[in-house]
Structure 1
Amino acid sequence: MNRFSWPALCLLLLTAPSAGLAQGAQIAFGESQQDSDLPVEVTSENLDVNQTDGTAVFTGNVVVGQGEMRLFAPHVLVIYKEDESGIDRLKATGGVIVISGEDAAEGDQADYYVDTGMIEMEGSVLLVQPRQTLTSDNMVVDTRAGTARMTGRVKTILQPQD
């Protein structure tokens, strides 16, 4: 799977037609609804498990996949539920890319809540879709509904209709 680079995403930002959005905006994300009950597959260069505190850390070209959704990051911490019945969330840091269908988002960090299918991205979020490109401070993706909400200085470029 190809990774998006900042220059390529910025080029798309400057050339893609966009629709206008206000300070907080809900938009579609991904081609279809995601089944968050599907298995989560994680691949990486390294895995460090600490038996004392029960943490697991994936590092080096980490790819998290579930259904059609892919998350790329250099560092992913597995956070378990308090009752130790399973995984609560995956915390990705160091620059994160989330791809679902033709939609791609990039941000500084992301938390993926496995049970609910919610992804919370923070820090210079850039969303690239086939017909629009947006930036914001934060974005929450509901993979079950196939939607996203961008907040915090949402910006896009308005293009007149043909």
Structure 2
Amino acid sequence: MMIALTLVAPIFVAVPAMAQQVGFGGLKADASAPVEVSADQLSVRQEDGHAVFSGNVVIGQGEMRLAADQVTVEYADAGQSRIKSLHAKGNVTLVSGEDAAEAAEASYNVEAGEVVLTGDVVMTQGQNVLTGDRMQVDLAAGTAKVDGRVRSVLQPGTN
């Protein structure tokens, strides 16, 4: 009787102060694909090679989407033709394939193909949920590592 209840009920796992490696994005993302940004407002700081997009910011690169209240773009060169990194703040959502993650902030190193989400990170994969303090996503490998107070809610498979 106890075994049947365990198989039907969702599984809740808490893993304190340990990292958990998970897949993210289903397919590997193309970090060399063009980056498209849309927002309500843009402020450019020529002196330090930064641009600040604010209000309903949505950034797309291939199949990946990043949304936030504000995103600061750091350019790799003074001519502002190649993006080096992005830093998103406020209501951050990262979506790649069937997977999605929410956080307070995110930093995307475009050249390295790595996104780091911080602040109450919540990742969903279908009905499965994973939370933690910090999530590091390797877009080329399609993997993520979650650190901090990691908690998982995993739905058992149905046959």
| Normalised-by-shorter TM-score class | 0.7 to 0.9
Kindly report which structure 2 residues correspond to 1:79-158, keeping only aligned pairs within 5 A, or say none.
Answer: 79-81=74-76, 84=78, 86-157=82-153
Kindly report which structure 2 residues correspond to 1:57-76, keeping only aligned pairs within 5 A, or say none.
Answer: 57-76=52-71
Letter in 2 for 1:125: V
User: How many residues in Structure 1 have an aligned counterpart in Structure 2?
Assistant: 146
Distance in 1 separating the partners of 2:48 and 2:65: 28
Residue 21 (structure 1) shift: 7.0
Distance in 2 separating the partners of 1:46 and 1:149: 33
Alignment pair present for 1:28 and 2:32: no
| 1:57/1:102 CA distance change after superposition, 3 Å | same
Q: Could you say what the CA RMSD is over the residues aligned between the two structures, in angstroms?
A: 2.2
Dislocated runs of 4+, deviation >6 Å = none
Question: What TM-score, normalized by structure 2, do the two folds share?
Answer: 0.83
Q: Which protein is bigger by CA-based radius of gyration?
A: 2
Letter in 1 for 2:87: K
Percent identical among aligned pairs is 47
Distance in 2 separating the partners of 1:26 and 1:84: 37
Partner of 2:51: 56
| 1:76-107 deviation per Cα after TM superposition (whole angstroms, max 9, x unaligned) | 001233x6473221000012000011111000
Q: What SS is found at the alignment partner of 1:136?
A: strand
Letter in 2 for 1:77: T
| 1:144/1:27 CA distance change after superposition, 3 Å | same
Residue 65 (structure 1) shift: 0.5
More strand by share: 2
Q: What SS is found at the alignment partner of 1:31?
A: coil
Gaps of 5+ in 1: 1-15
Q: Given that residues 14 and 149 in structure 2 are in contact (C-alpha distance below 8 angstroms), is that contact kept between their aligned partners in structure 1? A: no
Letter in 1 for 2:45: N
Letter in 2 for 1:136: G
Q: Given that residues 18 and 131 in structure 1 are in contact (C-alpha distance below 8 angstroms), is that contact kept between their aligned partners in structure 2? A: no
| 1:20/1:94 CA distance change after superposition, 3 Å | same
Gaps of 5+ in 2: 1-8
Distance in 1 separating the partners of 2:142 and 2:157: 26
